[in-house]
Amino acid sequence: QVQLVDAGGGLVQAGGSLRLSCTASGGTSNNFALAWFRQAPGKEREGVSCLSTSGAEYAESVKDRFTISLDNAQTTAFLQMNNLKPDDTATYYCAAVVEGDYNDCLRPYDMDYWGKGTPVTVSS
């Protein structure tokens, strides 16, 4: 069983940056695709970015502003978020799915494991 602990959220002004982290345990990270999702109040959960053996993918709304990465030990994933906008305000969740066992790593229903979420608030 894989456990994911996501952290790093907070309050930031528009144009600022935050780096989220997702630490995995109970499994081997290099056998999983790791992803970030977010959910704003009253909205559906949406995929933000994922990292798999196929490379990195990003939602159109965060391209060129967010970067997903994995540490050398392949146990912690990061989401570097730059030039944040008020529309980025949401609770951010990391997620994991067995590599290859999904159709779309930006689709919430394809994920096997979830962190508890970390809130991000961007003020204007």
Q: Decide: 20 and 117 in contact? Cβ < 8 Å.
A: no
Share of the chain above pLDDT 90, in %: 81
The predicted pLDDT at position 28 comes to 59
pLDDT band, very low/low/confident/very high, at 30 (cuts 50, 70, 90): low
Each residue of 10-25: b (16+ CB within 10 Å) or e?
eebeeeeebebbbbbe
Residue 18 contacts residue 9 (beta carbons within 8 Å): yes
Q: How confident is the model over 62-105, as pLDDT tens digits?
A: 999 999 999 888 789 999 999 999 999 999 999 999 888 888 99
- pLDDT beyond 60 at 29: no
Classify residue 6 by burial, with Cβ atoms within 10 Å: 0-12, 13-18, 19+.
buried
DSSP state, residue 104: -
Taking residues 41-53, what's their average pLDDT? 95
* End-to-end Cα spacing for the chain: 40
Where does the pLDDT of residue 108 fall: very low under 50, low under 70, confident under 90, or very high at 90 and above? Answer: very high
